Chains A and B, each alone.
Chain A
Amino acid sequence: MQSTSPPAAAVALSGITRRFGSVQALDGVDLVVEPGEFFGLLGPNGAGKTTLISILAGLTRADRGTARVMGHDVVADYRKARRALGVVPQELVFDPFFTVRETLRFQAGYFGLSGVDEWIDEILAHLDLTAKADANMRSLSGGMKRRVLVGQALVHKPPVIVLDEPTAGVDVELRRSLWAFVRKLNRDGHTIILTTHYLEEAEALCGRIAMLKAGRVVALDTTQNLLSRFAGITARLTADRLPSAWSGRDFRRESGVFHIALASYAELERLLADLRAEAIVIEALALAETDLEQVFLRIMKGEGAAAPGGVR
């Protein structure tokens, strides 16, 4: 009888631990990303995101645990694992000796690829770099250098692409065109793993999100589930004070504005009624649905943190 094994996960991390001196950068990370996912890896600075990516890319070795890319162990089977992975690094790095085209050709050559000129032309066109193909890397703007980094990560057509804060310091126009291109790559079947500090980007792009804190996964779920777990409204109220019944509620005050978490619109009705009852004047009132930023902040504060075990 012929048995068919299930397709390998795009990325599978199991019990990954890494310590740098006294700092526990990663503390037993388990994570599985399925092929074709657009996956977000979020966390504050120092949470371990870049260390995790470096372990996947073979730039850093884990103290314990295993990491696989498309089923290939990143240490024991590093050639296949690296061939399956494209990484856009966080730092804006480039080789000042070469042109854009030379840079891409060399990168393809390091992977043992030949006959890549057509694909390089396609990449250049997608990244709006055709006019700069023969320009030296030094002469490019920061945004253009960032695009070349994306091109270098794609030149060997990897099924899994990791973007480590690719839009840091990038202008709005480039950010939009970059995301349009990355969405297209995802539609074409590439698995995308994204780290970013722009949570509205993660909310708009990622189907599933893992949140890291101090080297541990503190939340792992679909973006929709994360949002609904903390579903509600935030009322931003400018007034002298809150009604007495609300003094024990979950709120914070910034620059004279109360930020009050409300479970529903019915609760908003009660707030308005209590304000009227105590004759408190509303100077301004704005409402906002819960977004990923609020979810992120609440999870980082330790509310509702849950990483469903074995979630794929």
Chain B
Amino acid sequence: MRTHEGTGWITLLRKELLRFWKVSFQTIAAPVLTSLLYLLVFAHMLESHVAVYDGTVGYTAFLVPGLVMMAVLQNAFANSSSSLIQSKITGNLIFVLLPPLSPGELFAAYVLGAMVRGLVVGLGVFLVTIWFAPSVLAMPFPWWALAFAALGSAILGTLGLIAGIWAEKFDQLAAFQNFIILPATFLSGVFYSIHSLPPFWQAASHLNPFFYMIDGFRYGFFGRSDVSPWLSLAVVAGSCAALTALTLALLGRGWRLRT
């Protein structure tokens, strides 16, 4: 038996990955199917009525990266938040709190686990939707798309961790998810370009950090975006850093985890 100081978080990450993998119908296949249904319904209804970026991009192609990013964000949030709240409510969180895991290690394991789940589901959505819009494969700036997917999943994984730490019952977590995460995602430009909105709602969209995640992600696919990708990168990276600092402080204090 050998001891490797500071490696406990790798085991916690493996546990987090195995947890969602063991129920992959629910955690991977179901959200992929949901996104596919969104695409089928919205693309069928709107393809011939809506053109985006001055008519250079068809609606179905525009929708694909939006749906991929929405899946990445929602599933990253779902992973860390559900893992933590289940562990809190069933009491098995004690197995993670008793070992010598530092706040940074707990953070790394839960957020990386959430990122992997988000990115795996996003890849699944991408693979099943490109059949309907093969043009998205052209991707002029794939590294931009990857950077926004990684940062977006990290932000939502971190938000999921905060929600899981804060919530004391499933109802509170559902409120966080349905009244904050879901509206912010839906109103971020997944289904439309904000240039199609009235001026007031365009301005309101700029206050939604989720808008920058999706707009920056789309830049990687089309080389076009509603705002500069550098601005989006700055907002998203800044949000990620601020949330990371907040979560590390909460974990360090043991807020709602250690009495």
Contacts and interface: CB of A to CB of B under 8 A. Distances in A.
A174 B5 CA distance: 36
A298 interface: no
B208 interface: no
A50 to B, nearest CB: 11
Interface residues of B, number: 33
Interface in B1-34: 1-8, 10-12, 14-15, 18-19, 22-23
Nearest to B258: A59
A266 B15 CA distance: 67
A152 interface: yes
A60 interface: yes
A107 B15 CA distance: 10
A97 B7 CA distance: 22
A54 interface: yes
Contacts of B8: 109-112
Contacts of B87: 95
Contacts, number: 98
B94 A97 contact: no
A93 B86 CA distance: 12
Nearest to A94: B92
A115 B1 CA distance: 5
A156 B87 CA distance: 21
Nearest to B21: A97
A95 B18 contact: no
Contacts of A146: none
Interface string B233-259: 000000000000000000000100011
A271 B252 CA distance: 66
Contacts of B23: 97
A113 B91 contact: no
Nearest to A111: B99
Interface string A87-100: 10101011111100
A97 B258 contact: no
Contacts of B15: 98, 106, 109
Contacts of B128: none
Given A59-B98, A112-B4, A91 B91 contact: yes
B131 interface: no
Contacts of B98: 57-59, 82, 85, 87
A119 B1 CA distance: 8
A230 interface: no
Contact of A89 (B5, B18, B94, B254): B94
B91 A93 contact: yes
Nearest to A91: B91
B11 A110 contact: yes
Interface in A158-181: none
Given A106-B11, A112-B5, A113-B1, 7 more contacts: A57-B97, A109-B14, A111-B3, A111-B8, A112-B3, A112-B7, A113-B2
Closest 3 pairs between A and B when the two form their complex, measured CB to CB: A109-B11, A93-B91, A110-B99
18 contacts: A58-B98, A59-B97, A59-B98, A78-B100, A82-B100, A87-B98, A97-B19, A98-B15, A109-B7, A109-B8, A109-B10, A110-B11, A110-B12, A111-B8, A112-B6, A113-B3, A114-B4, A157-B1
Interface of A: 20, 54, 57-61, 78-80, 82-83, 85, 87, 89, 91, 93-98, 102, 106-116, 119, 152, 156-157
